[in-house]
């Protein structure tokens, strides 16, 4: 398992454990506790979605930068090959 998967699994396990602890130790009645947990989960999902959106945006930018560099290097290699081929053809 990768480090990212370990972190994700640990986070999920911690969230579940926290939810169970909240249910067992909550001073509120069951329906109020469930409502608070639902609202908390909705907020967490919203924040998580925003975080994922930021990561996705950064990944797209990184891929585009890599694509640009690859194209640039390809052009330089093709130009160098053409120059080398032309220089080599004059010697024969």
| Cα–Cα–Cα angle for 77, 83, 84, rounded to 5 degrees | 85
d(CA 79, CA 66): 20
**Closest by CA position to 23, among listed 14, 33, 31:** 33
Q: Which helix (H) or strand (E) holds 1?
A: none
Model confidence pLDDT, tens digit, residues 1-11: 677 778 888 88
More confident residue, 14 or 24: 14
d(CA 63, CA 29): 50
d(CA 50, CA 10): 21
Gyration radius of the chain's alpha carbons: 27
Total domains in the chain come to 1
Note down the domain range covering 34.
3-91
Model confidence pLDDT, tens digit, residues 31-90: 887 888 788 888 888 888 888 888 888 999 999 999 999 999 999 999 988 888 777 655
What pLDDT does 90 receive?
A: 55
């Amino acid at each position: 398992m990768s480090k990212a998967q370990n972190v994700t699994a640990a986070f999920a396990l911690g969230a579940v454990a926290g939810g169970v602890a909240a249910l067992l130790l909550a001073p509120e009645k069951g329906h109020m506790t469930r409502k608070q947990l639902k609202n908390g989960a909705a907020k967490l999902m919203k924040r998580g979605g925003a975080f994922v959106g930021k990561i996705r945006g950064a990944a797209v930018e990184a891929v585009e930068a890599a694509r640009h560099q690859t194209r640039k290097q390809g052009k330089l290699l093709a130009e160098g090959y053409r120059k080398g081929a032309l220089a080599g053809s004059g010697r024969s």
